Amino acid sequence: MWRCIVASVTIGITGLPQAHRALRERPIAALRAAANALNRGAEEIMAVSKAEYVPVATGLLRASGHVIPPKITGAAMGAVVITPAQMVFGGMAEAYALSVHENPRSGKTGGVSPSGKRYKVFSRVGQWKYLETPAKLLAPKVFGDLKLALDRVLLTAWGSGRPVEGIRGAAG
Q: Among 122, 118, 89, which residue's Cα sits nearest to residue 105?
A: 122
- Domain residues for the domain of 40 are 11-171
State the pLDDT at residue 11: 53
Rounded CA separation 80/73 (Å): 6
State the pLDDT at residue 23: 65
In a domain, 59, yes or no: yes
DSSP SS3 for 34: helix
pLDDT digits (tens, 9 = 90+) for 52-65: 999 998 899 999 99
State the pLDDT at residue 81: 66
State the pLDDT at residue 101: 82
In a domain, 6, yes or no: no
pLDDT digits (tens, 9 = 90+) for 63-80: 999 999 988 776 555 556
| E strand or H helix at 97 | helix 94-101
Contacts of 133 (CB under 8 A, 6+ apart): 49, 53, 127
Report CA Rg, the chain.
Answer: 20
Q: Is there a contact between 28 and 93 (Cβ–Cβ < 8 Å)?
A: no
In a domain, 3, yes or no: no
In a domain, 4, yes or no: no
**14 — phi, psi (to 5°)?**
-115, 155
pLDDT along the chain (172 residues), means of 10: 48 57 71 87 95 92 91 65 80 82 85 88 87 91 87 69 50 46
Number of domains in the chain: 1
Per DSSP, which regions of the chain are E strands? 9-14, 66-68, 71-73, 81-83, 86-88, 166-171
In a domain, 1, yes or no: no
